[in-house]
Each structure stands twice: as C-alpha cells, then as structure tokens.
Amino acid sequence: MPYLRFAIGDRLRLDGEEMPGVVTLVEVEGENSIESLPREGKAGDIHILRGYRDFRVRIHVALASPNPLRELKALQAKFAKSKTEPLRVVHPHLAARGIEKALFARLLSREEGGEEGMVAILELTQTEPREALAERNAAAEGGLATQRGPMAGPKGSGGGSQGGQAGTSSTPAPPPYVQAFVEGRQAGLRLAGGGP
C-alpha cells in the first residue's frame, strides 16, 4: 500500500518520493451524523445520533517556486495515480485522530492576486471502517434477532406448541381433540363427537 508522509514546513513524500511544494497547514474535519426530526405540536426538534462520518483531511501546500504551475501539474499527476487505492498516511496529527488510511478525494488550487506562487489543497477521506459503523451494524443485527417470534415446524424444531411443549411456548395449547387430530389419531374424531 502506498504511503504519504508529511510534516508542517516540509515537503510531502509519496512512497518516499519528494513532491512539489511545502506543507503549510493540516486540517482534520470529523463530525457526528445527526438526524433532526420535528416534533408535532411542540417547539424544538428531536436530535438522533446516527454515528460518525468519516474524517476529511486537508493538506495545504505552498507552491512558491518560480514556476508554480509546473509544480501544480506535477502534484496533479502524482495524486491522479493514487486515486483508486487508499494511502497509508503518516503524520502525528492524523494519528491522534485515529486516521491511518485515506483516499485521495480532490485537489484544489488557489491563486491570489498580489502574492507570489499558489496554494494547493489536497483533500483526503478516511477509508477505514469506523467503530461507530461496527456498533450500528451489531445493533441492527441484534434488533432483527429480537423481532423473530415463534416459528411453525415439526416437533422438536422449537416451533409451535405440539407434543407436550405447551409449557415452553407463549402460545396456548390446543384442545385435546385438536391435538389428537393433528397427530392423526381417530380418537380425535371420537372426542369431537364425529367418529365411530
């Protein structure tokens, strides 16, 4: 897996190769995924936490050489090759936020009047599965398991209330003549008054 190593005031290194520009700023943006539902007849909304969104990382790079457009073109070419597979990112700020792998999302470039050079902003998106996503999936699976009720099936399969299982099921046992009829005995017809 390719790796991206950088430090403030230094150059980006992609797989050990030095890239154009100097890193001037690193931003890490993470947020909760919150759904707001209106309450009928009451003021205010109900806010429901749905988990966490993946982190977004922005790396600001100053391109201050005599030909910043050439540096920008080289930067674009390097990251265009890395847009299909995640990068292992190495930086203490990102490590503190729990980001180890990220995917190149976009490259912004900015040219401001009255200043020499350009600024390029690399945006990366975290790609590792988050703890909150794993918890949400586990909760959803648990919810499905608790929604299952008694299942119909032959004796001993855990379903129904047949053959002496009436005390173990929440459904009531059928009357004796119905139980006998279900078991195929002619005695069930006699109990119901319909047999010889």
The answer on 13 and 103 residing in a single domain is yes
161 lies in a domain?
no
- Alpha-carbon distance of 1 to 45, in angstroms, equals 45
- Which one-letter DSSP state was computed for residue 118? E
The answer on 123 and 51 residing in a single domain is yes
The answer on 185 and 103 residing in a single domain is no
149 lies in a domain?
no
Sign for the CA dihedral angle at 15, 16, 20, 26 comes to positive
Assess contact for 12 and 98: CB atoms under 8 A.
no
- Alpha-carbon distance of 92 to 166, in angstroms, equals 63
Q: Domain range holding 101?
A: 3-33+47-130
The answer on 71 and 115 residing in a single domain is yes
Encode pLDDT of 82-124 as tens digits. Answer: 777 788 888 888 888 888 888 888 899 998 776 677 899 999 8
Encode pLDDT of 73-88 as tens digits. Answer: 988 888 887 777 788 8
pTM metric for this prediction: 0.57
